[in-house]
């Protein structure tokens, strides 16, 4: 059973929106936190990449085995709307890899490469029914492989909103000088 087209579309739309949101952050402010309690755009992107890598690594490991039957009561999960809307602010259980805190262009290139690996895994497994493979998300509950791939899109949607908040809260003088440079080009 091939992966539903809606999931591939969601992944493409979410990535494109996240990249557009990142465009609003000037390169010189990429690693700057708007406040001490907020992440920088660099930290957000490092987190997004780390989570996607962890999901792909887990999927690669799990797909090598036969799927385990999961009782119906253990299949409960929260809707992805909780992720996308950012109603709850949660601390990630996955630490940020400091090696991913790099310059803006390098981070965006790395983000594209991470997504390439995700799509390559999806392509390699397109003739398999991945709906039988499940594993737990630390907050949402039990997800099928298809739901995990969809979650990667939801996760980017969530952090696109965070990037937009960062852009709004960065120093105004830097943003206005960057707009003037962009307009003169």
Whole-angstrom distance, CA of residue 1 vs CA of residue 139? 28
3-state SS track over 10-70: HHHHHHHHHHHHHCCCCHHHCCCCCCCCCCCHHHHHHHHHHHHHHHHHHHHHHCCCCCCCC
Could you count the other beta carbons within 10 Å of the beta carbon of residue 160?
23
Q: Where are the domains of the chain?
A: 5-184
Whole-angstrom distance, CA of residue 143 vs CA of residue 146? 8
pTM, two decimal places: 0.82
Residue-wise pLDDT tens digits, 24-73: 999 999 999 998 888 999 999 999 999 999 999 999 999 998 877 765 56
Residue-wise pLDDT tens digits, 56-69: 999 999 999 887 77
Q: What is the mean pLDDT of the chain?
A: 86
CATH of the domain spanning 5-184: 1.20.120.450
């Amino acid at each position: 059973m091939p992966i539903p087209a809606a999931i591939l579309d969601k992944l493409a739309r979410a990535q494109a929106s996240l990249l557009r949101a990142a465009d609003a952050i000037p390169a010189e402010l990429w690693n700057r936190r708007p406040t001490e309690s907020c992440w920088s755009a660099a930290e957000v992107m490092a987190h997004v990449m780390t989570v996607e890598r962890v999901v792909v690594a887990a999927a690669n490991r799990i797909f090598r085995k036969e799927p385990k039957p999961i009782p119906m009561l253990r299949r409960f999960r929260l809707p992805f709307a909780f992720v996308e809307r950012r109603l709850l602010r949660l601390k990630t259980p996955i630490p940020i890899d400091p090696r991913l805190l790099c310059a803006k262009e390098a981070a965006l290139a790395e983000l594209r490469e991470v997504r390439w690996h995700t799509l390559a895994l999806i392509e390699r497994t397109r003739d398999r029914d991945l709906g039988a493979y499940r594993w737990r998300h630390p907050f949402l509950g039990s997800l099928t492989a298809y739901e995990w791939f969809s979650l990667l899109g939801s996760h980017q949607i969530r952090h696109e909103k965070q990037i937009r908040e960062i852009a709004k809260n960065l120093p105004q003088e830097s943003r206005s000088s960057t707009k003037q440079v962009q307009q003169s080009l």
